Amino acid sequence: MSLHSGAARHRVLVVGGGTAGIATAARLRRAGVTDIAVIEPSDDHWYQPLWTLVGGGQASLDETRRAEEKLIPEGVRWIRAAATAVDPDAQTVTTDRGSVVGYDYLVLATGLQLDWDGVPGLADAVGHGAVSSNYSPRYAPYTWELIRNMRSGTAIFTQPAGPIKCAGAPQKIAYIASDYWRRQGLLDKIRVVLVLPGDSMFGIASWRQTLEGVAARYGIEVRLSSEMTALDGPSHKATIVNNATGAEEILDFDMLHAVPPQRAPGWVAASPLANPASPFGYVEVDKHTLQHRRYPNVFALGDVADLPTSKTGAAVRKQAPVLVANLVAEMRGVGKRKSYDGYSSCPFVTARDRMMLAEFDYELEPSPTIPVIDTTKDRRDMWLLKRYGLPAMYWHGMVKGRV
């Protein structure tokens, strides 16, 4: 790994050094591709799926972090800067350091942007008082502090409308908290409200039925087709609107876990690479090849790609080998392409020691990778996979391009 800060041109330029970017760069190196650069401003690399357990008091924040420089694959240049613009006609990316980096092939793996201002009052309220969010390493430990200190009152857990990363996370923390309060003998003194934008708890019946049973087990009030539209942190009041009926209610709360609206980074949304039909600015790619529809030397994967499936690390694990195979085929002028079937998975933690694994494809058909286990039920062994197995696979396999 070497550091590069000046203007240059590279055979392959990867924008984003998170899960998708590092996994792709590692796989490209394993495929024999040279002259690769990664644009990434952060010194820290995070394993974000574990933040739910950090917020639930079952993992430390430190174990979700590694130094970015140790994960940059050997032979790949690290441009320690933030991308601010892309010109796909000139084949350049501009950074916040004023440099312009050229490319022959571009991989967009920027992730998405948390829009804390998307709900009036949220940006000012989160991280103190009674409001937290596991969607930031800055706030996840505070979630556990709120859960641990709560003895009675109302706890609200919200999810915004629109695509978000790890769409099961807003539910998971509600279940982890409820199970903790149940074990402490406090649950009958706490009103738990779960605000979800969809018309059901999950889009596939077998897993939906399990989740409905979990919510009923804890006595959680589930508000479907609803979202939080405003927050008054100092007064501990949340405005909840039912988008199906237009009905509005203002709930007092003693604790609130909020998930901010999410969208593509502004410079991506403003670029010619964004899907003009997407209100969120995600990159327009073929959903099977991950190749841009209008610029064949551009590919995208992960959260920033406009794909009709859940934005999860498990999806990236399946996307990266397809993208790399197709990018290499494009470089070599080979016509045959690999196809991504939309696989994603949501590990739903339903208690402090139980989890079920929802795996599915573009058609919302079950796509199990552990066929001998019924993953439609919450199980102890699945929780152990979440807590210990998946992080190990991530650090030792996925970001090294092996899994």
Alpha carbon distance 322, 277 (integer Å): 24
The verdict on residue 350 lying in a domain is: no
Share of the chain above pLDDT 70, in %: 98
pTM score of the predicted model: 0.94
On whether both 86 and 152 belong to a single domain, the answer is no
Alpha carbon distance 388, 390 (integer Å): 6
Write down the pLDDT at residue 334: 86
On whether both 75 and 202 belong to a single domain, the answer is no
On whether both 104 and 121 belong to a single domain, the answer is no
Alpha carbon distance 290, 283 (integer Å): 10
The verdict on residue 402 lying in a domain is: no
Tens of pLDDT along 29-54?
999 999 999 999 999 999 999 999 99
Tens of pLDDT along 123-163?
999 999 999 999 999 999 999 999 999 999 999 999 999 99
On whether both 123 and 230 belong to a single domain, the answer is yes
Alpha carbon distance 196, 126 (integer Å): 19
Domain at 171, CATH number:
3.50.50.60
Catalytic annotation present for 303:
no
Write down the pLDDT at residue 7: 59
On whether both 239 and 270 belong to a single domain, the answer is no
Alpha carbon distance 225, 317 (integer Å): 31
The verdict on residue 390 lying in a domain is: no
- Model confidence at 337, pLDDT cuts 50, 70, 90, reads confident
Catalytic annotation present for 157:
no
On whether both 210 and 89 belong to a single domain, the answer is no
Spacing of C-alpha 180 from chain mean position = 25
On whether both 137 and 238 belong to a single domain, the answer is yes
Average pLDDT over residues 87-91: 98
Place of tokens 């979202």: 227
The verdict on residue 209 lying in a domain is: yes
Residue-by-residue DSSP string for 154-214: EEEEE--SS--BSTTHHHHHHHHHHHHHHHTT-GGGEEEEEE-SSSSS-SSHHHHHHHHHH
Query: What distances in angstroms separate CA 325 from CA 74, 154, 306, 337, 338, one per listed residue?
Result: 20, 50, 20, 7, 7
CB-count burial class (<10 Å; 0-12, 13-18, 19+) for 124: middle
> Domain containing 177: what range?
115-261
Active-site residue, from 38, 130, 131, 166: 166
Backbone angles phi, psi at 265, to 5 degrees: -55, 145
Residue 387 carries which DSSP code? Answer: I
The verdict on residue 301 lying in a domain is: yes
The count of residues in the chain is: 403
The verdict on residue 388 lying in a domain is: no
On whether both 301 and 241 belong to a single domain, the answer is no
User: What number of other Cβ atoms are within 10 A of residue 74's Cβ?
Assistant: 8
Where is the domain boundary, 340, 364, 397? 340
The verdict on residue 372 lying in a domain is: no
On whether both 99 and 19 belong to a single domain, the answer is yes
Triad 333, 336, 338: Cα angle to 5°: 120
User: What number of other Cβ atoms are within 10 A of residue 215's Cβ?
Assistant: 20
pLDDT reading at 6 higher than 60: no
On whether both 173 and 101 belong to a single domain, the answer is no
The verdict on residue 373 lying in a domain is: no
Query: What distances in angstroms separate CA 123 from CA 5, 83, 116, 289, 329, one per listed residue?
Result: 33, 24, 5, 37, 45
Active-site residue, from 81, 214, 346, 358: 346
Alpha carbon distance 340, 168 (integer Å): 22
Write down the pLDDT at residue 5: 42
Tens of pLDDT along 302-323?
999 999 999 999 999 999 999 9
Where is the domain boundary, 241, 261, 281? 261
Where is the domain boundary, 293, 322, 340? 340
Among residues 3, 66, 38, the alpha carbon closest in space to that of 394 is found at 66
Among residues 270, 233, 269, the alpha carbon closest in space to that of 252 is found at 233
On whether both 86 and 125 belong to a single domain, the answer is no
On whether both 192 and 137 belong to a single domain, the answer is yes
Domain count, the chain: 2
Amino acid at 285: V
